Amino acid sequence: MTLTKKLYGVIISSFILVILHYLMYLFIPSAWDLALKPGNLKAINFITAFFAHLNENHLYSNLLSFVLLALSCKKKIISAWFVFLVSGWFGNLCVVIFGNSMVLGFSGGLVGLSLLNIFYHTNRFGLVISLFYIMIIFSNIYLQKNNVSHYAHIGGFIASLLMVGYLKFKEKSSSKNI
């Protein structure tokens, strides 16, 4: 995939993420109503909690990470989106199962993109960005910073590890069949 196509894909993806965030707050102005919460599970909140963020600082810091990680990703944008969505939703689900707080955002998906980059050894820039992102996330978990959804990051890590492992296994088995 050429850099131009990837850049267009990342710009369109970023635009979609921002539009979804603001559309949700247009119709449901309370973060509390958009969040995924233990004990108060609604199917719609599995979607809204992923795309909505607590505030604009949260949205744009996650978006910057998304852009850097997605641009450096070696896999096709569809594979990257799949890992991003599944690891993000699984991370949010882990908060509901193991945690006791509400969850908003797609941080688990960012961990998924980071692992995708690390396992597929993108260019050095992508590797450094991914390792840096993982280091920041797990240092926050270690330091027990507030407002950081530890279970979402760990859940995203586990889901992406399983998906990347599957992709690697699939590639190995298809290369043996040739």
Going from the N-terminus, what domains does the chain have, and what CATH number goes with each?
Answer: 3-176 (1.20.1540.10)
> How many Cα atoms within 13 Å fall on the side-chain side of residue 124?
0
The encoded tokens of residue 24 equal 């949700």
Task: Kindly indicate the confidence band of residue 64, based on its pLDDT and cuts at 50, 70 and 90.
Answer: confident
Q: Are 66 and 106 in contact (CB under 8 A)?
A: yes
Kindly tell me the sign of the dihedral angle through the C-alpha atoms of 50, 9, 156, 65: negative
3-state DSSP of 97-164: HHCCCCECCCHHHHHHHHHHHHHCCCCHHHHHHHHHHHHHHHHHHHHCCCCCCHHHHHHHHHHHHHHH
Supply the pTM of this predicted model: 0.80
Q: What is the pLDDT of residues 119-170, one digit of tens each?
A: 776 566 666 677 777 766 666 555 555 556 778 888 888 898 888 888 778 8
pLDDT value at 86 more than 80 = yes
- What is the residue whose two structure tokens read 């993982």? 134
pLDDT of residue 144: 56
Nearest-CA neighbor of 91 among 45, 32, 156, 46?
156
pLDDT of residue 9: 82
Rg (CA), the chain: 16
State mean pLDDT over 98-121.
83
φ/ψ of residue 48, rounded to 5: -65, -35
Q: What is the pLDDT of residues 17-60, one digit of tens each?
A: 999 989 888 888 788 888 888 777 788 888 888 888 888 888 88
pLDDT of residue 89: 92
pLDDT value at 3 more than 70 = no
